[in-house]
Amino acid sequence: MIENKTFEDLQVGDRSELRRLCTADDLIVFANVSGNHNPMHLHDEDGDGDGATEAICPGMFVGSLVSAVLGNVLPGAGTLYRSQSFEFLDRAHAGDELISTVEVIAKDAAARTVTLRTDVRRVADDAPVLRGEAVVEPPKVRRVQRMSDLPGLVVQRHRHFEALLARAEPLPALRTAVVCPEEENSLGGALLARQHSLIDPIFVGHAGKITAAAQAAGADLTGIEVIDIPDHAEAAARAVALVNEGRADALMKGHLHTDELLRPTLDRDRGLRGRRRFTHVFVMDVPGLAHPLLVTDAAINIAPDLKTKVDIVQNAIDVAISIGIDDPKVGVLSAVETVNPAIPSSMDAALLSKMAERGQITGGLVDGPLAMDNAVDMAAARTKGIVSPVAGRAEVLVVPDIDAGNMLAKQLTYISHAEAAGVVMGARVPIILNSRADGEMSRLASCAVAALHHFRMAGTLAS
């Protein structure tokens, strides 16, 4: 609860302050609200051409922190500006914590205005960033108010995918057989990943169509091997052979159906079968969520039995570790959070949880059954009385079947504006499974996930 001060309440020497950690999201919001898109103020832009991003807090953003003290604390609710002067003494950047201070230095009874000294300092080194003077009309009536929440803002940016790219780009380029990149989107995604040093591609497919797609996109194929195989099934089989010959360490889907790509990988004699079932993992960058969210299996196993779900969980844990999530927290979803013999998914979830406790699933914390709300929301978990290191904190969501997984992933994409990277696990190499609707960042992130996983596993085997 905060109580404001009227003209009569205020005394010379009254002083108050607020602290604020400035974030990259703050600068994005300010750019959109103010219309000031100066690249000097954006976290991912190099505004002065020196090769480094600046992320400098705009002067008026820093000044707005003064108005927050005036309007919220001193004098508080009901305050209106008459004038404000600012002198900017230093720069603040995203990541800086700032302290904004106001102090009453004069009162004008005739005009019923108050003059306040205003300043902003950086907490880390106590350096002054801004100083000035404000003249305001203080509140006319006393008011006690609760600091109620305003409508929330969610900033749409690829913070988790950007982190994945930063983590993957120093690695060697992943030798990747790209199957049938015969139209602009699939070809462009592979070429973009090559530009970011994520993959070293070999194109397998109809050479004429690949060349035509490159010409339409204004792309240069110089230095890229193109193996001319017009038939999709034969192209997929040749790509698998490249892996078996040691010339490729990953497969990437181009402009062909998923089943055409996967069929030769499942061949018992010449395919890429590993120790586990093939399973699909979405790595999702959900706006407003503090961590990447993995959803599995939403693309391959239609109605998985318990044995298949063990592989689904273990493959997802392995991907989560590869992208930098220590001790992944896995929520096995059902319609309920209690075991109900009439709901098979709740039984499977409980068994998977117990199997993880007994070491049959390793590398992560597994709990279930959990309903969606108490898997990802702490308040919902507390309301249901669920005590678990996973409930409310799940980083991996294991769905009961492909229907639930497909619906969940698409709801996150089209309603929550998430971006999704997709990989198939369980083969001897990662399989990058892009959708025709995927944007550039999704395609890049899929390659980054594949590269991170491949090189982590290669390092593990080498050690």
- Tell me the pLDDT tens digit for each residue of 77-122: 999 999 999 999 999 999 999 999 999 999 999 999 999 999 999 9
Is residue 154 a part of any domain in this protein? no
Pair (232, 283) in one structural domain: yes
Same domain flag for 209 and 332: yes
In a domain, 362, yes or no: yes
Closest by CA to 309, choosing from 402, 409, 403, is 402
Instruction: Provide the pLDDT confidence category of residue 147 given band limits of 50, 70 and 90.
Output: low
What pLDDT band is residue 152 in, cutting at 50, 70 and 90?
A: low
Q: Residue 454: how many CB atoms within 10 A of its CB?
A: 20
Grade residue 461 by pLDDT with cuts at 50, 70 and 90: very low
Helices 232-244 and 258-265, packing angle to 10 deg: 40
Q: Is 428 a member of any domain?
A: yes
Q: What's the token pair of residue 231?
A: 């038939």
Domain-embedded: residue 150: no
Q: Are residues 305 and 359 in the same domain?
A: yes
Quick check: helix, strand or coil at residue 235? Answer: helix
Instruction: Give how far the C-alpha of residue 175 lies from the chain's centroid of Cα atoms, to the nearest Å.
Output: 26
In this prediction, residue 148 has a pLDDT band, given cuts at 50, 70 and 90, of low
Which whole-number Å values give the CA distances from 3 to 69, 107, 355, in the listed order? 13, 20, 56
In whole angstroms, give the CA distance from residue 21 to residue 270: 56
CA angle (39, 41, 73) in 5-degree steps: 155
Return the SS3 of 212: helix
Q: Which domain holds residue 118?
A: 2-145
For residue 252, give every residue at least 6 positions away whose Cβ sits within 8 Å of its Cβ, in sequence order, or none: 176, 177, 178, 179, 190, 199, 201, 431, 432, 434, 447, 450
> What is the pTM (predicted TM-score) of this model?
0.78
Domain boundary among 145, 168, 186: 145
Same domain, 208 and 119: no
pLDDT score, position 158? 76
Residue 153 is assigned to a structural domain of this protein: no
Same domain? For 385 and 425 the reply is: yes
CA gap 374, 387 in Å, rounded: 11
Whether 39 has a pLDDT exceeding 60, the answer reads: yes
Domains: count for the chain = 2
C-beta of residue 265 within 8 angstroms of C-beta of residue 272? yes
Residues 182 and 140 in one domain: no
232 in the same domain as 380: yes
End-of-domain residue from the set 119, 145, 171? 145
Label residue 150 by pLDDT band (50, 70, 90): low
Whether residue 123 is found in the same domain as residue 186: no
Do 183 and 60 lie in a common domain? no
User: Any idea what the CATH number is for the domain that residue 83 is in?
Assistant: 3.10.129.10
Among 179, 169, 233, 183, residue whose Cα is nearest residue 201 = 179
**Where does a domain end: 145, 167, 201?**
145
Q: Are residues 355 and 417 in the same domain?
A: yes
| Residue 152, in any domain of the structure | no
Judged against a pLDDT cut of 60, whether residue 435 lies above it is answered with: yes
CA atoms within 13 A on the CB side of 423: 30
Q: Are residue 98 and residue 16 in the same domain, yes or no?
A: yes
Residues 141 and 180 both lie in one domain: no
Q: How far is CA 122 from CA 25, 29, 55, 106, 406, in A?
A: 19, 21, 15, 26, 47
CB-CB contact of 350 with 396 (8 Å): no
Work out the pLDDT band at 149, boundaries 50, 70, 90: low
- Is residue 35 in some structural domain? yes
pLDDT at 462: 37
CA distance 125 to 218: 51
Q: 75 with 36: CB under 8 angstroms?
A: no
CB 159 within 8 A of CB 285: yes
Q: Which two tokens stand for residue 275?
A: 């120790």
CATH number at residue 267: 3.40.718.10
Answer whether residue 151 is part of any domain.
Answer: no
**Beta strands 329-333 and 250-253, pairing class:** unpaired
More confident residue, 462 or 34: 34
Q: Using an 8 Å Cβ cutoff, are 359 and 340 in contact?
A: no
Q: What percentage of the chain exceeds 90 in pLDDT?
A: 84
Task: Answer whether residue 251 shows pLDDT above 80.
Answer: yes
